[in-house]
């Protein structure tokens, strides 16, 4: 099915005999913003890592952009995770150069625009950044790439309001301008309530609710209501 950006079929994973994901099946249509919601430790990040080929499933099958996850495929995906802090010893300007040398699809012109957009100082050093500035740099690096698929792992967690609003603005602009599939894991609903096309709620290793957000609103109310229903 070419219209699927991502397909999970019966995916399971255990760490040290403890199951973290059990029989997970879902499809992310191309060009949509897909939310994986759930509390901390629900296995959301593991799902994202599997899409990025950074973690292999024990059972089941995964397809990303019509292929099995691979290192070649990973280079065509922008994956944002809070843990990858390779830029500590670089300034913003150096990080851009690094991005350009590392990713063939890196758009330097776009990156320069985004430095302005995010009001970042080019001379600012990675390890001297606030959490908000770090988030801005990570987003900038991610959204300067010309890719079809972006995987954002908890992008809004612990980030100040102004930065979060800028991030949302950049996401909406980007999906207005080109076909881009976004998968976002989060436990912060406010940010994504208006943004998501589809969503899955993960709880105790399983997907407990999955569907088109506008349809879910008709059936069960807001994502926030649903979230309370699932986790409270």
Partner 1 sequence: METRVVGSYRFILDFSQPIYEQLVQQFRQMLAKGEIELGSKLPSVRDFAVQMKINPSTVVRTYQELERDGLCEKRRGQGTFITSSASQVSELRKEIAEGALGSFVRTLQILGVTREEAQKMIAEVDWK
Which of 4-12, 60-68, 187-195, 201-209 is the region at the interface with partner 1 (rule: CB under 8 A)?
187-195
Under the criterion CB under 8 A, does residue 169 sit at the interface with partner 1? yes
Q: Which of 61, 89, 105, 173 binds partner 1 (CB under 8 A)?
A: 173
Minimum gap (Å) between residue 148 Cβ and partner 1? 17
Phi, psi of 56 (to 5 degrees): -105, 145
Minimal CA–CA distance to 192: which of 165, 211, 174, 219?
165
Residue 16 C-beta: closest distance to partner 1, Å: 39
Q: Which is nearer to partner 1, 140 or 175 (CB)?
A: 175
* Window contacting partner 1 (CB under 8 A); options: 45-53, 96-104, 105-113, 221-229: 221-229
Q: Which of 72, 109, 116, 177 touches partner 1 by CB under 8 A?
A: 177
Sites for partner 1 among residues 200-219 (CB under 8 A): 214-215, 217-218
**How many helices and strands, by DSSP H and E, does the chain display?**
9, 9
> How many Cβ atoms from other residues are within 10 Å of residue 219's Cβ?
9
Using alpha carbons only, give the angle 69, 70, 74 rounded to the nearest 5 degrees: 90
Give CA–CA dist 73/85, Å, rounded: 22
By CB under 8 A, the residues from 17 to 76 that bind partner 1 are 32-33
The SS3 call for residue 133 is helix
Please, what is the minimum distance in Å from the beta carbon of residue 224 to partner 1? 7
CA 82 to chain centre: 11
Residue list 102-131, contact with partner 1 (CB under 8 A): none
CA end-to-end span of the chain: 37
Among 48, 135, 223, 227, contact with partner 1 (rule: CB under 8 A): 223
Place of tokens 């919601």: 37
> Which residues in this chain contact partner 1 in the complex, by CB under 8 A?
32-33, 168-169, 172-173, 175-177, 193-197, 214-215, 217-218, 221-225
């Amino acid at each position: 099915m070419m219209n699927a950006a991502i397909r999970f079929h019966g995916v399971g994973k255990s760490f040290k005999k403890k199951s973290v994901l059990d029989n997970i099946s879902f499809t992310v249509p191309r060009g949509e913003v897909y939310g994986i919601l759930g509390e901390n430790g629900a296995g959301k990040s593991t799902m994202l890592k599997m899409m990025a080929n950074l973690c292999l499933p024990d059972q089941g099958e995964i397809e990303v952009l019509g292929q099995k996850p691979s290192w070649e495929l990973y280079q065509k995906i922008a994956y944002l995770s809070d843990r990858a802090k390779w830029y500590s010893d670089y300034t913003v300007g150096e990080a851009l150069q690094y991005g350009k040398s590392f990713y063939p699809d890196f758009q330097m012109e776009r990156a320069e625009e985004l430095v302005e957009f995010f009001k970042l100082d080019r001379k600012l050093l990675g390890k001297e950044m606030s959490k908000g500035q770090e988030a801005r740099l990570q987003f900038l690096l991610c959204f300067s790439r010309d890719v079809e698929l972006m995987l954002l792992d908890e992008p809004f967690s612990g980030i100040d309001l102004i930065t979060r609003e800028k991030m949302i603005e950049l996401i909406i602009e980007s999906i207005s301008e080109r076909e881009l599939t976004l998968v976002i894991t989060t436990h912060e609903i406010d940010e994504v309530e208006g943004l998501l096309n589809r969503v899955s709620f993960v709880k105790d290793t399983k997907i407990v609710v999955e569907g088109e957000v506008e349809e879910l609103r008709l059936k069960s109310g807001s994502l926030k209501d649903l979230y309370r229903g699932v986790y409270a």
